[in-house]
Amino acid sequence: MSARVSIVKCDSYEPGAVGQAVRDLLGFIGGITAFVKPGSSVLVKPNLLMSKGPEYAITTHPEVVRAVIQILKEINCKIVVGDGPAAWAKYAENVDEVYSLTGIKDVCQEEGVQLVTFDKRRMRDKFPLTTWLDECDYLISLPKFKTHELTLLTGSIKNLFGLVSGTYKMELHKNYFEAQEFAGILVDIYQEVKPALTIIDGILAMEAEGPGTSGKPRQLNLLLGGSDCVALDTVMAKIMGITNQEVLSTKEAARRGLGENQLSRIKIEGEDIAKLNIPAFILPITYKGVGKLPLPIKKLLKSLIRHYPYCLKLKCIRCGQCEKICPRQCIKLKKSGLSFDYKKCIACFCCQETCPEAAIKVKKSILAKLMGL
């Protein structure tokens, strides 16, 4: 068994508890120096999707980030922290708001480490990725344990999408909008940039219509860690109640030989997930449709079998975020409310993902309902 995943319990975000839990997590898999050399430079990348506090379970908790920073400081690493949130328009100003409201800015100031934006980019393969990857020796990824309307889960591989600089994420959503195609893009990024270490924040997780405000926080009290993102996401899926064949990104990554997606070949250290007795997660409404039909059939019937967004008018605050972020520009904010052009909609659910008030939901077409998709 070459793939190892460490799992530890942690029942609160109290700094001392999180710090000890992260140390225990690393202890099961060789300690921090098994992944990072002392004195090296490290980019720490949490999941900072949007401007919401940690209590929403949308973003990596700042105390998990603090714990990793403190451990790296003990081996004299130069540390920078950053992410590419779903923030468009005035990019730098929006990102600063995200950093402030998520609590990451305070932690970095208190710990004396540099907090950076991903505004500078360099083409790597076919993606403009942040140049901070070039300036640092290692990448440590800190995803959030969440469901996701398009990809089923937001875990180790999906967190790397935040390395794509600026508004180019919109182009990728626009051009690779089928779930299978988008999974391939995520794996392309993982193939180009493999983190030295990944630690998943699952103390307060998210289920249902994740990864944004439409999801439901769920106390899970777990941290997961390792260097194989495919194995980590496979274990995460198992905990959620999803099979390894249903998560398209891990299936594709394993096919390319980039990691292990067979539980029988993953050595789990620490907690035994079979003994945790975790009830299955509530999964997104799109769950059964993501990988059930072959891609050619889905494309042929996409006008009939589909999931699409709609707006709850009473919850909408008319902020216009959905209109700005839509990669196909099929949302218009009118006096009467939001208008969706469903002929142009590609069901990427970026609008739902970034809505600050959970005002955008997803519904199924009649045929999708009849087919159980």
DSSP assignment string, 108-140 = HHHHT-EEEE---EEEETTEEEETHHHH-SEEE
Q: What is the pLDDT of residue 300?
A: 59
User: For the chain, which residues score pLDDT lower than 50?
Assistant: 89-90, 290
Q: Which domains does the chain have, with CATH numbers?
A: 3-275 (3.40.50.11440), 293-370 (3.30.70.20)
Predicted pLDDT of residue 296: 66
Beta carbons within 10 angstroms of residue 125's beta carbon:
10
C-alpha span between 353 and 212 (Å, rounded): 5
d(CA 353, CA 15): 29
- What DSSP character marks residue 341? -
Tell me the three state secondary structure of residue 44: strand
132-191 residue pLDDT tens: 999 999 999 999 999 999 999 999 999 999 999 877 888 898 898 888 899 999 999 999
